[in-house]
Each structure stands twice: as structure tokens, then as C-alpha cells.
Amino acid sequence: MGRAFGSVRARAALGATVVVAVALVAAGLAVLRVLQGNLADQAGLHAQVEAREVASKIAAGTGYRALDLDDDTPVQVVDDKRRVRAVSEDLEAVTGTASPSVRPVPVAPDGEREEGEVDGDVKYVNGSARIDGTTADYRWAAVEATSPQGDEVTVYAGAPLATERDAVGTVRQAMLIGLPLLLLVVAGVTWLVTRRALRPVEGIRQEMSAITASTDLSRRVPEPDSHDEVARLARTTNETLTALEAAVERQRAFVADASHELRSPVASLRTQLEVGVAHPELLDLPGAVEDVVRLQRLAADLLLLARLDAGERPRADSRVELDELVRETVEQRTGDRVPVRTDLAAVAATGSRGQLTQVLGNLVDNAQRHARGEVRVSVRADGAEGVVAVADDGSGVPESERERIFERFVRLDDARSRDDGGAGLGLAIARDVVVRHGGTLTVGEAPGGGALFEVRLPLS
């Protein structure tokens, strides 16, 4: 039972039923109140007509004994001293009027006046009356009148409320019978409609469960032909699966390429050490040191990429003077094959000095690897950004390959040696670091025809 009510269908059906129930109960109470008020007003109007008719007779001089009060409508005439002057025949008891008595009191008239009058105001009270042994609730209309003899009396005429109460009771009974049936219909229709609407969701869930069990990320969930939220959910799920599949493929390629890149220096180092053990005089110590350095750099690059993939971000409270960073980096390259020229302006950014130093080093290494005779590094401000540009006079990068070179383990010159070309991680690391600093790294064509790498970072 708990599991059934934990489903979306059950909650939707229950929620719709509760909302409809509250709405129907509120509407039903309002209808009953309006109906009761209208019927009470009709009863009061009937009583008012009878009371005014009797009051008009009194004002015209008709004696109390000659009023000929209708047996169907109870009437009581009470003077200003609460004395009963006239009542309907067969009226045995009364409540709600000015006097509970039903026995007229004879009073001698005070004298003659020219004419009597009827007050235009009407007052209504609820009470009861007993006629011929039957007691019922009545709506009393009270109209004041003055007889030609000067008597000030109040005429009470009653209209039964039984019709009003019978009608209200009938409507209430119908509502009590119809409400549960209507709620059952609402619950059933909501259940069926929700079940039909959620059927594609169940298909998506089953397919996702099958994908999880099979680890086959090439599968996709079914997309409904509709244009509703479920269809958008299916499309978003398939887009997520596509991105996840691509990420897994990149991860697999990364592991394979890393294993391949690590295999060469490790195998070379092992060979040299084994030769050194067997023939110490043949040990190539500089070559072994060079292999260790290559291995160390590759391991450092792989660790940095792993940290970047894990979401590591640079500290945002460290100010880095880009011109000083370039100056220090270039001064440490006095023995490089290709000289580095600089054109520096005072520009500062925020981030990790160590990571930005590695970005600049990777870009300069790449430029020197492809330059013919010179590498130029410039720093300038461009609006709200600081720009570090590294240009060489080499053959440049084909336009079709300008995004591919930032992929990991990609080297455009597959024929060159690994010692000269590196592992193909420098530019990938540089772009990842720059992006995590809130900037961009792009490549274009240098004025001298070579490659131009531009790092754009927000100014500090």
C-alpha cells in the first residue's frame, strides 16, 4: 500500500481528488447558503405581504374583531404596551414576536382621529408557531401601524420555513450522495490520464536501467513523438548519454595514450640500466637522466590534467603581473635554440602564478619547436582583458587543425621524434588552465606567417 501511494500516479490522483473535494465542498456550502437565503427571503416576502395587508386594514379603521385573519398564515397584532389585540384562529402558541400570548385583550378606544397610517419599515425575526397542535418554524414580518383611534400596534405575520428547509435538505442529500461518486470518477480519470502520460517515462527508466546494467553507452532511450516535457526529458537524457559516451571514449583514449607515452621512456630507461648493470662502461648516464626528466615531466603533466578534470580551480585572491611573469620566464631561457623577443606592457590578472607560468612555458616551448629563427612574446591590455601573445615565424597551423591541436596527445607532425615533439599535452594543459582562470586560448596566423597563440584573461 505504501509503495502504491508512493507512485506519481497515486499522488497525482490523490492530489486531484483532494483539490476537487475541497472545491466541491466549498461550492456546495456556498450553494446551500445562497439557496437558504433566497428561500428565507421568499418566506419573508410572503409574510410581509400578509402583514402589510392586515396593517392597512387597521389603518383604515377596521376593528380588530373584523380583521378576518387567514387561518393559513398566522397573524398576531400587538400594541405598544405588548398587549395582544388580535390573533389568527387556531393559533395556540407563538415565539419570536413581541408577546408570547395568543389571547386578545379588549381595550376601549381612546377617541377618533382623521386617519391611520402604516409604517414603511419591515423587520424580520425567526420564531415558531403552533397551529392545531402542530408546531413549526416561521419567518415573522413585523409592520407597524396606527389606527384612526390612535392605537399604535405591530402586525406580525408568519410564513413557514418548512419549504426552505425541505429544499435545502434535498439539495444537501443530493450533494452527499453525488460528491463521493464524483470524487471516484475524478480519481479514476486522473489515474488513467497520469498513467498514460507517464508511460514514456517508464520506458525511459527501463532503458536507462538496461544501459546501466549493460554499460553500453551507445544505446539511447526512446523519444516520444509529442512535444511535451516528457519528450524534452528524453531528448535531454539522450544528449547526456551522448556527452557521457564521448567523455568515456576520451577517458579511454587518454588512458591508452598515457600508457603508450609512458612506455617509451620507461622502456628506454630500463634498457640503459640493464646495459649498465651488465657493462658499466657502456652506461649512458646523460641519456638515462634525460629519460628520467621526460618521465618526470610527463607524470607531472598527467597529474595536473587529472586535477583539472576533477574540477580544481585556481585561487581567485592572487594577483599576477603578466609582464613580470613573461620577463622572468624569458630570462630563464638564455640557452634556448631560438631567441625570444618581448614587447611588454604592465598588465595584471588574478589566478595561480605557478599554473600561468606553466601555460606560458608550454606556449614558448611549442613556438620554439616550430620557429625558424625567432619567437615573440607580447603583453597588452585589450578592454577588460589582458592579452599574452606568443608568435613564431614557422610554418603555422592549418586552419582546419586549429582546434584539434588543443586535444590531448595530438601532434600534427607524426613523423618527428618524441624527444623533439613532446607528448602532445602542453597545449591541452594550457587551454584547460586558461579556461579555469576565466579566459580563452586561441591560435591564429602571426604577422610573420607562423602561429600566433593568444591568451586572454580578465584584468585584475
**417 and 331 assigned to the same domain:** yes
pLDDT tens digits for range 359-412: 998 899 889 888 888 899 999 999 999 999 999 998 889 988 888 888 877 766
Q: Which residues of the chain have pLDDT under 50?
A: 1-5, 414-421
The whole-number pLDDT of residue 114 equals 58
The whole-number pLDDT of residue 458 equals 92
Domain final residue, candidates 272, 307, 342:
307
Domain final residue, candidates 278, 307, 336:
307
The whole-number pLDDT of residue 298 equals 75
Domain final residue, candidates 181, 209, 237:
209
| pTM greater than 0.85 (yes/no) | no
Please indicate, yes or no, if residue 219 is contained in any of the structural domains.
Answer: no
Please indicate, yes or no, if residue 423 is contained in any of the structural domains.
Answer: yes
Structural domain boundaries, residue 184: 1-209
- Helix or strand holding residue 441 (H, E): strand 440-445
Please indicate, yes or no, if residue 412 is contained in any of the structural domains.
Answer: yes
- Helix or strand holding residue 374 (H, E): none
Tell me how many domains the chain contains. Answer: 3
**34 and 101 assigned to the same domain:** yes
pLDDT tens digits for range 215-264: 788 888 888 887 778 888 888 888 888 888 887 887 777 777 677 667 77
**173 and 256 assigned to the same domain:** no
**78 and 153 assigned to the same domain:** yes
Please indicate, yes or no, if residue 389 is contained in any of the structural domains.
Answer: yes
**84 and 142 assigned to the same domain:** yes
**139 and 3 assigned to the same domain:** yes
Encoded amino acid at 398, one letter: P
**73 and 122 assigned to the same domain:** yes
Per DSSP bridges, beta strands 451-458 and 91-95 are unpaired
Per DSSP bridges, beta strands 348-350 and 385-392 are unpaired
* CATH code of residue 256: 1.10.287
**137 and 43 assigned to the same domain:** yes
Please indicate, yes or no, if residue 224 is contained in any of the structural domains.
Answer: no
**298 and 389 assigned to the same domain:** no
Contacts of 291 (CB under 8 A, 6+ apart): 265, 268, 269, 272
**125 and 204 assigned to the same domain:** yes
**352 and 262 assigned to the same domain:** no
Grid cell locating 42: 421568499
Determine the Cα–Cα distance for residues 428 and 382; give it in Å rounded to an integer: 24
Sign of the CA dihedral running 120, 125, 130, 136: positive
**299 and 330 assigned to the same domain:** no
